[in-house]
Amino acid sequence: SAVISQKPSRDICQRGTSLTIQCQVDSQVTMMFWYRQQPGQSLTLIATANQGSEATYESGFVIDKFPISRPNLTFSTLTVSNMSPEDSSIYLCSATWTSGIYNEQFFGPGTRLTVL
Amino acid sequence: AQKITQTQPGMFVQEKEAVTLDCTYDTSDQSYGLFWYKQPSSGEMIFLIYQGSYDEQNATEGRYSLNFQKARKSANLVISASQLGDSAMYFCAMRGSNDYKLSFGAGTTVTVRA
């Protein structure tokens, strides 16, 4: 298994500002992902964080709005840029392995973002 | 494309009873994985159980079991001997074999009554 931590756990931000969320895994993982959960909704994948290269974004999400970095196998950041109240959500980091016997896919505790 | 359907928005269950949460899926992949997660009000996503499409036996993890019916494309979660702490949102999710991205259902809220 893996333990994933996220910082900050929550934040209240002003419209037009940016927030960077950090995700740290306690072991090397193959894949890292960022999800968004809007209030009362299910989880939606934002992007796959690729080590040492640009993230792969899902339809409806763009790099200028959600820049992502992944410098190594255990760490990734997601920035929510030029925030608006519609960005108020829980942002979750997820990690998994692509080989071996591990089938679990783990999530961090989430970052609860409120934009005023 | 993968699609996950959870048709029960909310369910009530009496403490110590069993509850079944429905999940159906649609995919063109031959190899895929099915997951169930629990999300309490704190917001964290807690991994419960995994079923591979080629697994012949239904997965079990403690009080959780997955009723996997491949031909019907269903993967229902059974929680036995419900406890008050089981009150939460439950999500069914699926991933294919190529990209490891999870697709989630809409979720089912479970409320356990004393």
B75-90 per-position pLDDT tens digit: 999 999 999 999 999 9
Of A57, A103, A112, A114, which to mutate for an interface test with B (greatest number of B Cβ within 10 Å)?
A103
Q: What is the pLDDT of residues A28-69, one digit of tens each?
A: 888 899 999 999 999 999 999 999 889 999 999 999 999 999
> Is the predicted pLDDT of residue B97 greater than 90, yes or no?
no
Q: Mean pLDDT: which of A97-111, B18-32, B89-103 is highest? A: B18-32
**Could you give the percent of chain B with pLDDT greater than 90?**
86
Q: What is the pLDDT of residue A28?
A: 87
**DSSP output for B54-106:** T-SSPPEETTEEEEEETTTTEEEEEE-S--GGG-EEEEEEEEETTT--EEE--
Q: Name which of B25, B27, B43, B44 is nearest B35 in CA terms.
A: B25
**Could you give the percent of chain B with pLDDT greater than 70?**
100
Nearest Cβ partner of A104 from B50, B105, B107?
A: B50
Q: What is the pLDDT of residue A37?
A: 97
Contact B66, B51 (CB under 8 A): yes
The amino acid that residue B97 corresponds to is: S
In the predicted model, what is the mean pLDDT of chain B?
94
Q: What is the pLDDT of residue A1?
A: 72
Q: What is the pLDDT of residue A104?
A: 79
Q: Name which of B99, B43, B64, B15 is nearest A40 in CA terms.
A: B43
pLDDT band at B61 (very low <50, low <70, confident <90, very high): very high
**B106–A103 CB contact, under 8 Å:** no
Nearest CA in chain B to A42: B106
Q: What is the pLDDT of residue A102?
A: 54
Nearest Cβ partner of B47 from A90, A92, A105?
A: A105
| Neighbouring residues of A14: CB distance < 8 A, sequence distance ≥ 6 | A83, A115, A116
CA distance A68 to chain B (A): 16
> Is the predicted pLDDT of residue B24 greater than 70, yes or no?
yes
Nearest CA in chain B to A104: B50
Q: What is the pLDDT of residue B1?
A: 75
Mean pLDDT of B62-74: 96
Q: What is the pLDDT of residue A101?
A: 54
Kindly state the helix (H) or strand (E) to which residue B14 belongs, with its residue range: strand B10-14
Give the number of C-alpha atoms closer than 13 A to the C-alpha of residue B68, restricted to the C-beta side: 22
Contact B80, B18 (CB under 8 A): yes
Q: What is the pLDDT of residue B15?
A: 97
**A43–B47 CB contact, under 8 Å:** no
Residues of A in contact with B42 (CB under 8 A): 109
Nearest Cβ partner of B102 from A98, A103, A105?
A: A105
In the A/B pair of chains, how many CB contacts fall below 8 A? Answer: 52
**B42–A109 CB contact, under 8 Å:** yes
pLDDT band at A2 (very low <50, low <70, confident <90, very high): confident
